[in-house]
Every structure is written in C-alpha cells, then in structure tokens.
Amino acid sequence: MQSKGEIAKKCIAILIFCALLAFVLCRVYRVLSWKDTTGDYLSSTSQLYHTPEHTVDVVFMGSSHCYCGVYPAVLWRDAGIAAFDMSVSGQDRASTVHMLTETLKTQSPKVVMIDAYGLLFDRNEIEGNVYRNMLSMKTSKNSVELVKEYVEKEDQLDYLLRWPIVHTRFWELEKYDFIQYEPSIYGRGAFFSWHESTESAQGEWNVDQVGELSKENQEWLDRLIKASKENGFDLVFFVIPFKITREEQMKINAANAYLADRGIDLLDLNPLFSELDLDPKKDFMDNKHCNANGAEKVTHYLQEYLRSHYELADHRGDDRYSHWDQDLEWYEHEKLKQDLTVAEDPEERLRLLFGQSDLVTVISVEGASEEIPVLKELGLSEAEIAAGGKWILRGESLTKIMDNDPEDQAYTEDLSKTDALRVRYTKERDAFNIQFNYNACCDPRYPVCVVCYDGVLKDLLAIIHF
Amino acid sequence: MQFNSVQFLVFFPIVVGIYFLIPKKFKYLWLLVTSYFFYMSWNAKYALLIAFSTIITYLAGLFLGKTDDKKKKNLIVAASFTVNLGILAFFKYFDFLLGNVNGILSAVGLKIINNPFDVLLPVGISFYTFQALGYTIDVYRKEIEPEKNFFRYALFVSFFPQLVAGPIERSKNLLGQIDEMSKKRLWDYSKIVSGFGLMLWGMFQKVVVADRCAVFVDAVHANLFAAGTVETVASAILFSIQIYCDFAGYSAVAIGAARVMGFSLMENFNTPYFATSIQDFWRRWHVSLSSWFRDYLYIPLGGSRCSKLKKYRNIMITFLASGLWHGASWTFVFWGGLHGAFQIIGDLLRPIKQKVNDFFKVKTETFSYKLGQIMITYGLTTFAWIFFRARTWENLILYFNRMLTKPNLWIVFGGGLDYLNINRDDVKIVVAFLGILLLGEIVRYVKKVDVGEYLWQQNLWFRIGVFIVLIVIILVYGEYGIHFDSGKFIYFDF
C-alpha cells in the first residue's frame, strides 16, 4: 500500500502536468488560431469582442459587399453615429443569423441593416470564407449551432474542435500571429481600398419582374424578422451596388415585395447609380465591391436614411467610443497613404507629410548640389542643405539628429514593439544610412532620402527620393 | 475507431476510468464489451466474424482438453484451422485467387469467371485469426490448459489495444494475465505513466513521422512517370521509415494502452534498422508475427535441425507464407521470397565472408564493422520494401526504370521537387523529426527499454517536459484534420 504522502505527491505531479499542458496548449492555440492570412482584414468578430458593451447603435451585416461598401468611420466623422460592420467574407444566410446572435450577446443596437446579397448565394464554397465564418467566433452554443447548420456532418467535429484545421497554419505564421494588435486597429469592420475597377459594376438592375422567393430565403427573412421583434431592434435590408444579373434582381424584387408586406424597408441601391453619383468603374474596386470612393457615397446615402428615420445620438467626444475615434484616425491615415501613392512629384509627396500627427519622418540630405525648395519650406537654410545631415520631422517640428560625419553615433529609435529605425552615416549615400528593421531604405543615386513611418498604421508610409 | 482519432481520445480515458473504478471481478467483462464496441466502430457486422472465430477456437480448445487421442486432436486442430483459415482466405484472398484463375483462363482462351462477391476485408482479421489459431496449437501441444471461461477467452481474442494490428499475442502471455486479473493489483502508477509515455511516442511515430514521410512517398508514386533516381531512392528510404513508424507506432500505442490498464504485451519492434543481418532483422521486426511463423510453421516443418536443403526449403516456405499474410498480391509474395532468399544467400556466403575477413584481417568486433553490417542490412530491407510498396508489377517495373535510367542529382539543389508539391521547409521538418526518432531508437538500443519506461526512469520535470513537447509536436505537426485522409495504419490492410 502506498502512503498518503506518496499518493498526494503523485496527484500533485498529475495536476502540475495538466496545468502546464493546458497553459502551453492555450498559448500555442492562440498563435495558431485562425486569422485572415490575406493580412489586411480580420473577421469582424474579433473587433466585436473588444468593443465596449452596448455602445453600437447601428449594425451592418453581410458579406464583403457590406464591409467594402459601408464605412462606420464616415458615419462617425459626419454624424457621430456608432455603427459597426458585423460582416465577414461570404457571410451566408446561416452565418448572418448566428453572427447576429453573437452581436446581440453584448450589444443592443437600435437598427440592424442586413445586406440582401445573402439571398443570392447558398453555402460558400470558398474555403477561406468557410474558415472566416466558422472559426472566428468564440466557442459557444451559438458557434456550435452555426457549425451544425453550415458544415457537412463529416467535417463538423474538425470545425468544432478547430485544432484539426488550424494546426496546419504553422507554416504561414506571421508577426501578427504572435503579437496581437490592438483590436481597433482594423477599425469597425470596414475594409479600406482605393483600387479602381477595370470593369463596370453596373448590372441588370432595371428589371421589374418579381421572381420566386425560395423556401430557404423566406425562412431566412422570417428568422431575422423574428429576431428583430424578440430583441427590439428595427430591421432594414439593403443592397450595395454591384453588377447584378437579371435573375438576381428578380430575387431581390421578390424579397422586396415580401418585406414590404411586413412593413420592412429594403434599400436597393443598384438603381441609384445616378442619384448617388456613382462611377461604375472609379468608385469600385471590381465589378462587385465598392472602393473607398464608392463607400463614401453609399455610406452617405445610408446616413441620410438613418438620420431621417431614427434619432441616433451623436457619441463624438464620449470616452467609451474611443474605438470609433481610432477607426476614423486609421481611415484618414489610409487616405494619406493613398494620396502619397497617387502623388507623382517627390517634393509634393513630402509636402503631404508636413504637419501630420503620428508620423516619424526621417530626412537625409547627402551631397545635394541643387536648390531644393521643399527643404527650404521645412525651414532648412541653403547652408544646412549644402552641408547635409539627418533630420526628423514629427508634426510641425523638425529636429536635426546628426551631421554627415562617420564619427557621429548612429541614431536609433524603437518605432513600435516590432519596428525599429537606425539612422547613421558611414559613407556618402550608403543604402543603409537609413535602415528600417533589416531593410536598407536609401537609394544611392539621390541626394535626398525621406523615410516616413506611420505610428497608426504601424508600417512604413513612404520612401521618397529626389 | 483508429488510435489517431478524436473518438479514441474520448473512448480510451472513459474505458480506463471505468475500468479502474469497477470491482475486479467485472473488469474483464467491461474490457470485453468495450473491445467489441471498439471493433464494431469500423463495421458492426465484423463482430459476427470475430465472434464466430472465437467460438470455433474456444470449442476446439475445450475438445482438445478432453481427449488424448492423437487422431481426434489432429482432427480438431484441422477443423479449427480449416474454418478459420477458410474465413481468412475468403475475405482476404478470394479476389486474388480468382484473378489468378482468370489470368490462366484468359491465357488459354477460356471465358473468365465474374466475381460473385463484393466483400471488404474486415479490419485486423489476419491478426486475431492467427492469435486464435496460436491458442489452438498451444492447447494441442499442452503448453496451456484450455480456457473454460468463454468471456475471458473472448477477451483474449478481442482485447482492443492489440485487436486490429497486433502484437499477435500468445495465449500463455495474455490469456494468463486475463485469468490473473481478479487476483493482482492492476492500478500501477509507474505503468500508467510509462504506458502513457509510450502511447505518446507511438502517436509521434505514426502521426508525425510516418504520415509526413507518406506525403513524399505517395507523391513520388503518383508521379512515377516524371520521377528520376533521386526521388525514387529518397522515396524508398522514406518508405522504409514510414512503414516502420506506422507499424511500430501502432504497436507502441497498443502496448502503452495495455500497460496503462496493467497488461504487459509482448514487444513487437526492437530497433529493426539496427539489425546486423536479415536474420537479426526478423528477430527485431514484427516480432510477434515472425515468432508466430517460427513457432507454428518453421519449427513444425523441421526448422534448421535438418539437412541444409530442407532448412532452405523451410525458410522459403515460411517467408513466402509471411509475404502472403501481408497481402493478397504476388508482389507481397515476392517480397517475402526475397527475404527468404537473402537469408539463404547469406548462409551460403558465410564461409566465403569468413575467408575474406581472415584474409584481410578484418576486425569484426569493431564499431565500423558493425556499422557496415547495419548499413548492408538496411540497404537490403529497403530494397525489398520497394516490392512491398509497389503493389503491382507495372508500378514496380516503372519504379526501377526511373531509379536506374533517370539520374537527376541536380534536382536536389534546385527547385526540382516542386512538381511534387513539397517545399524545402517540409523536407527540413521531416529531417528534424527523424532526428528525434533516431534519439528514441538509440535510447531503445542502448538502454534496452522502450521510450515509455525510459521516461518513467527520469526525473519528474524532464518527463513532464518531454510529454508536453511530444503532445505539442503531435498536435501541431501531425498529419491529421480536415484535409488529411491517410490516417489509416498501413498494417490494418493485412
């Protein structure tokens, strides 16, 4: 027989093992857990979980049409409306219902606006979209029900356990898998892009015929109507402009008729290209998705609708809504990045950086023989430009950090938790005289090198040479 | 329900938990019920076959115990063998036999016979049939008393850890332990820990090493038309590792699972690729099967205590039978025959080898000599595995054609393997895990204990650390999940 002490020791050993194993597996899972590896956009659920409870007044739900076409940042900027895109690529009927349930756990929106594009496709066949919809929610009764409704039976266990799917991510792990960014950095669920389409997004919207409302679509609408009554929010459907086909428009018409009978609005924006001043190419990133220019116009229309139908509070200035402030800031920095991309003249690009907050701009001048007006505008004298040196511009303030002297100590700065900058002078126009992380930033052909780091986007905003 | 399935992850702790909680006298019944549940998870109908085989061999044992009449005993053994081997032959070899008959018929211009049956090979049938027949012979030889309790005997035939892929247990060992269950203490902390460690090691071998090697091997076999010397040689080496880790991994999980419950199963693998001769290889590879053939076929045939010619005949019969046991295909038979031939040639060349060693004053006790022996043996077994993996003569011929006529060493240095969808990172990770595997093999070879026991002998912190690392490696780097479908153990097909 073993003594009580021996048994206790063994029990402690088992407990230590279980605790350590649980800790290690949790940490490993956190790294491996599914994230959108296309990089720019996370599923909205992670943003939702980091949003203070009961702050969202308007929820937009839908697939990529929704997060490309509706910008909560614009609603916030113009009207102080606290809106949120609870939207995921390929969000189908089942996902919409369960994402709504998930949203209502912590939020009590006054209006829920749902993209009727969900009426036009069945289960999503794009694998990444299945993952986005199935793996992004926290595990709960709701997420289990979604998997059971969405995923084929033989695959359900893998989706419920998640590990059998996500463990294969070990090859694609990136920095953000280990260092979790602040949740607000990806905004309120919207995706910002200024890419312009080569194809027209105008489709066959001019169809009056009403198609048949399928059983699945009717059930979906009924489920959402029931949810709105049970949870006390107003339900509105909308269609973001895209290249719609005749058959699709007939389905939308059918849903519109069904909803009208029940006193629910469906805002079909496809027929409103002229009214919204939408350019079928310039305001779209492809023939299905708005770009930022289009999103501004679409969002403005929706804002007017909301203003005319609801009394929504202006939350600007309220500390609980800092996520919306940060979202707007992010959007504006993205716009600046776009402006820098579009601007062709290097000096003009540098001027765009003047006075901007949250930017760290290093200016290196080495062997400049000509007059450079933009440097004079910054306050540098001709003598200083001729002598050369390294300066840092933060907002309006320009500070010299070193001369072009190999004896001078290199200037280093941690720009963020993961990004570092080194400025030095080893020899004239050396590519590594400005180094961002492991990358040389200078082009030895030019006397002036400008490297700008964006503290909001946490990335290099621009490298300018002239 | 495979060992590398979520179902087993749930099944095993529940079985073990209840097993330790219920009174001793019910434990064997609990294990019997759960063993049948385990087996029926593949196909409930299979349970009828195993039950039938159990009844036949149980009754044979009882009748054998009641008579000393040699003729009657022979008749009983013959009946038991006929019925059991008949079932095995029908399910496993019918298609093969029919294919051969049809081959002959079509060669002489006669109409071929259509297959009237469409049967699936029941999982593990070769294993439990041999185990049950081993019992019949043991009772016949009076090496054990016939088991009176039907349910205990049924557990012996169907004990779930080793039911579907061995080790093929001997009645003296396992049946004895089942009989002793009510008398001895089954809860043993050291056995639970070492058994758990061995299960983890087995899962590592299977899910991480074997299945990662399988990705490469399968890719080469699927693209043989494009393959060259490098891919085919690499594939042969990796298949030797795959089949070893696949089967040894399963055995380790089986032995570990049984150990957790207080049972000691026979060793099935003992560092076979460290063997110094083919004979030595078969003392280390699938020990439970090779010893079965030795005890119940080779020795009854006369073994080695006869003329050289008869000895060679006995060797060939044993290895051809072993080949056929592995699969209903001539390539398996050829593989078995090749191993028999290696042994015979080795025996014939022994005097010459001795003379050469004497002439060149070769030091046979040195590490280098032993290493040479190990490498030659490994080379021969790996060569033989090519026949094992090819499955058809067409594949085999194409494989050797690619190996011998398309030298392409340069692809090692470029992106030449891209067509196989294998990147360099995959190769690196396989190499890293082969390093861990080698470490485990060295432990087994030097310390003469399995990895589970070795870990039990270490300090707690080290053991916990290794357990956690193994679990993480299995969960992260294992080949399983939604896009993976090769989780089946190779030996389930035999």
Q: pLDDT value at position B139?
A: 94
Q: Could you tell me the two tokens for B242?
A: 């795959």
Q: Is the confidence at residue A184, as pLDDT, over 60? A: no
Q: Do A45 and A137 contact (CB within 8 A), yes or no?
A: yes
Q: Is the confidence at residue A39, as pLDDT, over 50? A: no
The three-state secondary structure class of B266 is: coil
| Residues of chain A found within 8 Å of residue B460, distances taken between Cβ atoms | 13
In angstroms, rounded to a whole number, what is the distance separating the alpha carbons of residues B64 and B57?
A: 10
pTM of the model: 0.81
Summary mean pLDDT of chain B: 88
The three-state secondary structure class of B261 is: coil
Q: pLDDT value at position A299?
A: 97
Nearest CB partner across the interface for A17, out of B467, B476, B481: B467
Q: pLDDT value at position A191?
A: 87
| Residues of chain A found within 8 Å of residue B467, distances taken between Cβ atoms | 17, 21
The three-state secondary structure class of A359 is: strand
CA distance B219 to chain A (A): 19
Put simply, whether B485 touches A (Cβ < 8 Å) is no
Q: Do A134 and A162 contact (CB within 8 A), yes or no?
A: no
A interface mutation test: which of B1, B476, B484 has the most A CBs within 10 A? Answer: B476
Contact A165 B6 (CB under 8 A): no
Q: Lowest mean pLDDT: which of A43-47, A142-146, B418-422?
A: B418-422
Q: pLDDT value at position A176?
A: 73
In angstroms, rounded to a whole number, what is the distance separating the alpha carbons of residues A426 and A390?
A: 13
**If you measure CA to CA, which chain B residue comes closest to A161?**
B6
Q: Do A208 and A253 contact (CB within 8 A), yes or no?
A: yes
Long-range residue pairs from B6-14, CB within 8 A, at least 24 positions apart, any chain: B6/A157, B6/A161, B6/A164, B7/B41, B11/B37, B11/B38, B12/B257
Each residue's pLDDT tens digit, A230-282: 999 999 999 999 999 999 999 999 999 999 999 999 999 999 999 999 999 99
Summary mean pLDDT of chain A: 89
Give the 3-state secondary structure percentages of chain B, helix then strand then coil, rounded to 5: 75, 0, 25
Q: How far apart are the first and last CA of chain A?
A: 85
| Residues of chain A found within 8 Å of residue B478, distances taken between Cβ atoms | 167
In angstroms, rounded to a whole number, what is the distance separating the alpha carbons of residues B283 and B268?
A: 9
- Pick the residue with more confidence: A246 or A5? A246
Put simply, whether A20 touches B (Cβ < 8 Å) is yes
- Give the active site residues of B: 326
Residues with Cβ within 8 Å of B108's Cβ and at least 6 positions away in sequence, in order, are none
Put simply, whether A168 touches B (Cβ < 8 Å) is yes
Give the pLDDT mean for A407-434.
90
Each residue's pLDDT tens digit, A273-323: 999 999 999 999 999 999 999 999 999 999 999 999 999 999 999 999 999
Each residue's pLDDT tens digit, A332-350: 999 999 999 999 899 999 9
Q: Do A374 and A350 contact (CB within 8 A), yes or no?
A: yes
Q: pLDDT value at position A41?
A: 47
Put simply, whether A138 touches B (Cβ < 8 Å) is no
Residue among B439, B374, B385, B388 at smallest CA distance from B205? B439
Annotate A132-200 with DSSP letters as a single string: HHHHSSPSSHHHHHHHHHHS-HHHHHHHHH-HHHHGGGGGT--HHHHSPPPGGGGTTS--------SS-
| Residues of chain A found within 8 Å of residue B476, distances taken between Cβ atoms | 28, 32, 167, 170
Burial track A182-193 (b if 16+ CB lie within 10 A, e otherwise): ebbbbbbbbbbb
Contact A32 B471 (CB under 8 A): no
Put simply, whether B461 touches A (Cβ < 8 Å) is no
In CATH terms, the superfamily for domain A36-335 is SGNH hydrolase (3.40.50.1110)
Put simply, whether B472 touches A (Cβ < 8 Å) is yes
Q: Could you tell me the two tokens for A416?
A: 């963020």
Q: Could you tell me the two tokens for B169?
A: 């247990």
Contact B482 A155 (CB under 8 A): yes
In angstroms, rounded to a whole number, what is the distance separating the alpha carbons of residues A119 and A215?
A: 11
Q: Could you tell me the two tokens for B301?
A: 């045939």
Question: Half-sphere exposure (CA, 13 Å, Cβ side) for A411?
Answer: 19
Low-confidence stretches of chain B (pLDDT beneath 50): 484-494
Give, for A111, the enclosing helix (H) or strand (E).
strand A111-115
pLDDT-derived band of residue A1, with 50, 70 and 90 as boundaries? low
Each residue's pLDDT tens digit, B209-245: 999 899 889 988 888 888 889 989 999 999 999 999 9
Put simply, whether B432 touches A (Cβ < 8 Å) is no
Residues with Cβ within 8 Å of B62's Cβ and at least 6 positions away in sequence, in order, are B146, B148
B residues 160-189 near A, CB within 8 Å? Answer: 189
ipTM, two decimals: 0.79
